[in-house]
Amino acid sequence: MKITFLGTASNGGIPQIGCNCKNCNKSTQTRLRSSVLIRTGRKLFIIDCTPDFRQQILEANISLKDIEGIILTHLHFDHIGGLPELTVGKPLNIPIICHHSLKKSLKENSYFSYIFKNKYAYFTKIIDNNIKLVEVKHSSNFNTFGVIISEKKKSIGYFPDIATVNNRLLKIIKNLSILIWDGTFISKSKFGHLSVNKFLKINKYNERLILTHINHSESTLLYKRLSKKFGFKLAKESCTIILN
């Protein structure tokens, strides 16, 4: 399996427009909205379709025809805002994989419904047993899911938005080869995101942990200090990880 980080920022990206904070003014780090490309054998999956989808696809040199499926974790704009990009050319009927509750909401939303009515994309059930959706707490407005993709004895967990962790979830993530996790806020849990500090106290497998979905307000230096102490990694744009 191969994992490529197409984007690693939270909803506003970095720099965030209209923001005068230190990180956005400096623009020393540039991050697109969070998404990953995962290759399993000859299959290519993208998790979440961000507003930066066009740029991400072009930079990764991906053809839409090669996409086995786009997997959606939830309905916040930074995770589905790129779906209309599928309508700019010929209808390719791109497979969209998501929980049935999210499917219903997208079909009833006039902004997105035409994508499916005109066969630019279609909803498909999970036909690959190596893909699992794991429900997590994040927003009270709709269901949110983490994604686990496995190949042979290797597995990747992608959980970019999560508010709380229970024992059930801890049992699931402890067996993953790589855990890509919500790194939105370092010190304080807010807006449906568990703080990095709180998660590091309960997660015992930090050498397999990669933080993504970084908010523009957070200090890269502080992430690096915590990384040295706990052993996790901070996701980087366009970085590829190979699991043999």
Q: Mean pLDDT per segment of 10 residues, for the chain of length 244 residues?
A: 97 94 81 97 95 97 94 98 95 95 93 95 84 95 95 95 96 95 97 97 92 95 95 96 91
CA-to-CA dists, residue 131 to 47, 71, 183, 208, angstroms: 11, 10, 23, 19
Q: What is the pLDDT, as a whole number, of residue 25?
A: 87
Q: What is the pLDDT, as a whole number, of residue 126?
A: 77
From the number of C-beta atoms within 10 Å of its C-beta (0-12, 13-18, 19+), residue 163 rates as middle
Q: What is the pLDDT, as a whole number, of residue 95?
A: 96
Q: Specify the pTM.
A: 0.96
Q: What is the pLDDT, as a whole number, of residue 27?
A: 61
Half-sphere exposure of 26 (CA within 13 A, CB side): 9
Full set of structural domains in the chain with CATH: 2-242 (3.60.15.10)
